[in-house]
Amino acid sequence: MTKKPHNAFYAQSGGVTAVINASAAGVIETARKNKHKIGNVYAGRNGIIGALTEDLVDTSKESASSIAALKHTPAGAFGSCRYKLKSLEENRAEYERLIAVFKAHNIRYFFYNGGGDSADTCLKVSKISKALDFPIQAIHIPKTVDNDLPVTDCCPGFGSVAKYVAISTREASFDVASMAKTSTKVFILEVMGRHAGWIAAAGGLASTSDSPLPIVILFPEVVFNRKKFIKKVQDKVKLHGYCSIVVSEGVRGSNGKFLSDQGLTDAFGHAQLGGVAPVIANIIKEDLGLKYHWCVADYLQRAARHIASKVDVDQAYALGESAVKLAIQGHSAVMPTIKRLSDSPYRWKVSSTPLSRVANVEKKMPKKFISSDGFGITPNCKRYLEPLIKGEAYPPYKDGLPKYVVLKNKLVAKKVGIDFKL
Amino acid sequence: MTKKPHNAFYAQSGGVTAVINASAAGVIETARKNKHKIGNVYAGRNGIIGALTEDLVDTSKESASSIAALKHTPAGAFGSCRYKLKSLEENRAEYERLIAVFKAHNIRYFFYNGGGDSADTCLKVSKISKALDFPIQAIHIPKTVDNDLPVTDCCPGFGSVAKYVAISTREASFDVASMAKTSTKVFILEVMGRHAGWIAAAGGLASTSDSPLPIVILFPEVVFNRKKFIKKVQDKVKLHGYCSIVVSEGVRGSNGKFLSDQGLTDAFGHAQLGGVAPVIANIIKEDLGLKYHWCVADYLQRAARHIASKVDVDQAYALGESAVKLAIQGHSAVMPTIKRLSDSPYRWKVSSTPLSRVANVEKKMPKKFISSDGFGITPNCKRYLEPLIKGEAYPPYKDGLPKYVVLKNKLVAKKVGIDFKL
Mark which residues 185-244 of A lie under 8 Å from B by CB.
187, 189, 205-206, 208, 210-211
Of A82, A282, A406, the CB nearest to B183: A82
CB contact under 8 A, A79 and B177: yes
CB contact under 8 A, B181 and A277: no
Of B78, B171, B300, the CB nearest to A172: B300
Of A172, A270, A386, the CB nearest to B299: A172
pLDDT tens sequence across B191-227: 999 889 999 999 999 999 988 999 999 999 999 999 9
pLDDT (0 to 100) of residue B307: 98
Give the chain A residue nearest B203 (alpha carbons). A401
How does DSSP classify residue B87?
-
Residues of A in contact with B178 (CB under 8 A): 12, 16, 75-80
- Maximum CA pair distance of chain B? 81
- Name the least confident of A26-40, A276-290, B40-54, B271-285: B271-285
CB contact under 8 A, A397 and B402: no
CB contact under 8 A, A274 and B278: yes
Q: How would residue B360 be classed by pLDDT, with cut points 50, 70 and 90?
A: confident
- Maximum CA pair distance of chain A? 81
Residues of B in contact with A391 (CB under 8 A): 400
Give the chain B residue nearest A303 (alpha carbons). B171
CB contact under 8 A, A404 and B170: yes
Distance from CA of B264 to the nearest CA of A (A): 4
Of A76, A181, A264, the CB nearest to B79: A181
As a whole number of angstroms, the distance between CA A190 and CA B49 comes to 32
pLDDT tens sequence across A219-242: 999 999 999 999 999 999 999 999
| pLDDT greater than 80 at residue B265 | no
Q: Report the 10 Å Cβ neighbour count for B226.
A: 14
Instruction: Phi first, then psi: give them for residue A135, nearest 5 degrees.
Output: -70, 105
Distance from CA of B171 to the nearest CA of A (A): 5
As a whole number of angstroms, the distance between CA A263 and CA A270 comes to 10
Q: In A203-239, which positions are buried (b, 16+ CB within 10 angstroms) versus exposed (e)?
A: bbbbbbeebebbbbbbbbbbebeeeebeebbeebbee
Mark which residues 321-380 of B lie under 8 Å from A by CB.
none
Question: Which of these, A56, A64, A115, A69, lies nearest to A317 by C-alpha position?
Answer: A69
SS3 B216: strand
Judged by a CB distance cut-off of 8 A, whether residue B161 touches chain A is no
Give the chain B residue nearest A406 (alpha carbons). B211
Give how far Cα B226 sits from Cα of A168, A409, B277, B286, Å.
33, 35, 14, 11
SS3 B291: coil
Distance from CA of B161 to the nearest CA of A (A): 12
Gyration radius of chain B over CA positions: 23
Task: Convert chain A into a string of H (helix), E (strand) and C (coil).
Answer: CCCCCCEEEEEECCCCCCCHHHHHHHHHHHHHHCCCCCCCEEEECCCHHHHHCCCEEEHHHCCHHHHHHHHHCCCCCCCCCCCCCCCCCCCHHHHHHHHHHHHHCCEEEEEEEECHHHHHHHHHHHHHHHHCCCCCEEEEEECCCCCCCCCCCCCCCHHHHHHHHHHHHHHHHHHHHHHCCCCCCEEEEEECCCCCCHHHHHHHHHCCCCCCCCEEEECCCCCCCHHHHHHHHHHHHHHHCCEEEEEECCCECCCCCECCCCCEECCCCCEECCCCHHHHHHHHHHHHCCCEEEEECCHHHHHCHHHCEHHHHHHHHHHHHHHHHHHHCCCCCEEEEEEEEECCCCEEEEEEEEHHHCCCCCCCCCHHHECCCCCCECHHHHHHHHHHHCCECCCCEECCEECCCCCCCCECCCCCCCCCCC
Catalytic residue among B55, B58, B120, B146: B146
Strand A186-191 relative to strand A292-296, pairing: parallel
pLDDT (0 to 100) of residue B129: 84
Mutate which of A82, A145, A178, A422 to test chain B, going by most B C-beta atoms within 10 A?
A178
Q: In order of start, what are the domains of chain A with their CATH numbers?
A: 7-144+309-359+393-402 (3.40.50.450), 158-303 (3.40.50.460)
Distance from CA of A130 to the nearest CA of B (A): 30
How does DSSP classify residue B163?
H
Mutate which of B121, B389, B401, B409 to test chain A, going by most A C-beta atoms within 10 A?
B401
| pLDDT greater than 90 at residue B269 | no
Size of interface A-B (CB pairs under 8 A): 268
Mutate which of B70, B259, B300, B344 to test chain A, going by most A C-beta atoms within 10 A?
B300
Whether A335 and A352 have beta carbons less than 8 Å apart is answered as yes
pLDDT (0 to 100) of residue B267: 56
CA B277 to chain centre: 21
Give the catalytic positions of A in this structure: 146
| pLDDT greater than 90 at residue B88 | no
Give the chain B residue nearest A15 (alpha carbons). B179
Residues of chain A with pLDDT under 70: 1-2, 263-274
Q: Give the predicted TM-score (pTM) of the model.
A: 0.97
pLDDT tens sequence across A296-333: 999 999 999 999 999 999 999 999 999 999 999 999 99
Judged by a CB distance cut-off of 8 A, whether residue A258 touches chain B is no
CB contact under 8 A, A264 and B262: no
SS3 B276: coil
Residues of B in contact with A213 (CB under 8 A): none
Give the chain B residue nearest A44 (alpha carbons). B178
Residues of A in contact with B264 (CB under 8 A): 264-267, 272, 274
Please compute, for residue A208, the number of CA atoms within 13 A of its CA located in the half-sphere on the CB side: 20
pLDDT tens sequence across B94-134: 999 999 999 999 999 999 999 999 999 999 999 998 888 99
pLDDT (0 to 100) of residue A22: 98
CB contact under 8 A, B172 and A299: yes
Helix (H) or strand (E) holding B243: strand B243-248
Q: For residues B396-412, give the mean pLDDT.
A: 98
Question: Which of these, B267, B274, B305, B251, lies nearest to A294 by C-alpha position?
Answer: B274
Residues contacting A171, CB < 8 A, separation 6+: B74, B75, B299, B300, B303, B304, B305, B306, B402, B404
Averaged confidence pLDDT in chain B: 95
How does DSSP classify residue B53?
T
CB contact under 8 A, A170 and B400: no
- Burial of residue A397 (number of CB atoms within 10 Å: 0-12, 13-18, 19+): middle
How many residues are given for chain A?
Answer: 422
CB contact under 8 A, A170 and B210: no
pLDDT (0 to 100) of residue B72: 98
Q: Which tops the pLDDT comparison, B87 or B17? A: B17
Judged by a CB distance cut-off of 8 A, whether residue B296 touches chain A is yes
Q: Which amino acid is at A228?
A: K
Give the chain A residue nearest B207 (alpha carbons). A401
Q: Report the 10 Å Cβ neighbour count for B130.
A: 9
Whether B68 and B313 have beta carbons less than 8 Å apart is answered as no
pLDDT tens sequence across A264-289: 665 556 555 568 999 999 999 999 99
As a whole number of angstroms, the distance between CA A332 and CA A300 comes to 35
Distance from CA of A337 to the nearest CA of B (A): 22
CB contact under 8 A, B178 and A281: no
pLDDT (0 to 100) of residue B264: 61
- Burial of residue A349 (number of CB atoms within 10 Å: 0-12, 13-18, 19+): exposed
Judged by a CB distance cut-off of 8 A, whether residue B309 touches chain A is yes
CB contact under 8 A, B400 and A163: yes
